[in-house]
């Protein structure tokens, strides 16, 4: 996480309880998406080293996504206009 910061990446913790949507949280420039493990999510210390927390906009009826699906949707969301 520190190396990403040194390289100028804005680190976004992707989690269901994020402060805003992923698209809103991402500034122009280099971004690193930080995803947690299935079940436990992102560890507290890892999340504390992120500049923002963001959620993927999904239906309320869907409780969560597995990490591979979350990664795919997050990458799509970052490129969507």
Q: What digits encode the pLDDT tens for the residues 30-58?
A: 999 999 987 788 999 999 999 999 998 88
Domain extent, residue 31, equals: 2-79
pLDDT number for residue 58: 83
- For residues 23 and 80, give the distance between their C-alpha atoms in angstroms, rounded to a whole number: 9
Please count the structural domains in the chain: 1
The percent of residues in the chain predicted with pLDDT above 70, rounded, is 100
Residue pair 50/12 in contact by the 8 Å Cβ criterion:
yes
Q: Where are the alpha helices (DSSP H) in 1-81?
A: 2-6, 22-25, 44-48, 67-79
Helix, strand, or coil (residue 46):
helix
pLDDT number for residue 34: 96
pTM for this prediction: 0.87
- For residues 19 and 42, give the distance between their C-alpha atoms in angstroms, rounded to a whole number: 15
Q: What is the CATH number of the domain that holds 10?
A: 3.40.1280.10
DSSP letter for 80, please.
Answer: -
Inform me whether the pLDDT recorded for 76 exceeds 80: yes
Kindly report the average pLDDT of the chain as a whole number.
90
């Amino acid at each position: 996480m520190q190396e990403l910061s040194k390289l100028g990446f804005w680190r976004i913790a992707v989690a269901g309880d994020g402060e805003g949507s992923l698209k809103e949280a991402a500034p122009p420039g280099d971004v690193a998406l930080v995803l947690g493990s299935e079940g436990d999510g992102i560890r507290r210390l890892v999340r504390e080293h992120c500049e923002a927390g963001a959620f993927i906009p999904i239906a309320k009826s869907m409780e969560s996504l597995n990490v591979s699906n979350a990664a795919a949707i997050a990458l799509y969301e970052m490129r969507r206009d």
